Amino acid sequence: MAPFVSVVVAAAVSSGDSVLDVACGTGFATRAAARVVGTSGNVVGSDLNQGMLTMARSVPFEGIDISWRQASALDLPYADGEFDAVLCAQGVQFFPSPSSGLREMARVLRSGGRMAVTMWDEIEQNPFFAAEVDMLVRYCDVEPDAWSSGFAEGRTQIESWFEAAGLARVDVELIEVTVSLPPPAIYIPQHLKALPWPSRFFKVSDATRAEAIAHVEARLADYRTGAGVEVPFRSYLASVTA
């Protein structure tokens, strides 16, 4: 997440800003924004999932106090124009209505403020996710459609979400970064613990889990290094000024 967190924060946040991170999850982007705003700013992380917020609060952080609040992205409990910057890192595509969520995010953004969001590119363009999802479908009885909303279907779809939200002049950029990961046997269980739904992985037998991990390792053989794997990840960055 780190390279994409950096670009979403850089696209919207400045020193001294009041920032809202929507669908903040465990708070990667929230903490990165807090480092940028400094002591003269303030940062709020909101998420619908209370378990994510519990994890976010537990992460040690030296800096300004971050406010964590449970809230739906479709009904944010904040006043119109309350924030200088609004972020959403890899969350918009999961909203029941992406355009409604973007419209609500724009509502709480001051005039002249910046909104920035990231959304994963199509799963076929993200080898690690493709291998992980295939593993869950094959070995953990996860329905393929359960993951379909996690990935954008291209620039045109993203632009249509913003246009439907009344935000027509959006800048959309495709970003590709090669990320070094630990071996799949170490990384995948930790990655899945950070997500709200793929609990079936932890309910199958030890033997099935080992077979599932071996399947991912085979899928990612071309990316193997001495320390793990180096895999390209592709994400869209969309930003707009209110």
Indicate the domain borders of the chain.
1-120+152-177+234-242, 123-145+183-226
Please report which confidence band the pLDDT of residue 197 belongs to, taking 50, 70 and 90 as the band edges: low
User: Strand 42-47 to strand 229-241: parallel, antiparallel, or no bridges (unpaired)?
Assistant: unpaired
Contact 241, 112 (CB under 8 A): yes
pTM of the model: 0.89
pLDDT of residue 148: 64
pLDDT of residue 134: 92
User: Strand 229-241 to strand 171-181: parallel, antiparallel, or no bridges (unpaired)?
Assistant: antiparallel
Whether residue 144 has pLDDT greater than 80: no
Measured between alpha carbons, how far is residue 126 from residues 92, 129, 196 in Å? 18, 6, 20
Whether residue 153 has pLDDT greater than 80: yes
pLDDT of residue 147: 67
**Spatial separation of the C-alpha atoms in residues 100 and 96, rounded to whole Å:** 8
Across residues 209-231, what is the average pLDDT? 95
pLDDT in tens, 79-104: 999 999 999 999 998 899 999 999 99
Across residues 11-33, what is the average pLDDT? 97
pLDDT in tens, 25-37: 999 999 999 999 9
Domain spanning 1-120+152-177+234-242: which CATH class is it, in words? Answer: alpha beta
CA angle 26, 27, 33 (to 5 degrees): 170
Whether residue 61 has pLDDT greater than 80: yes
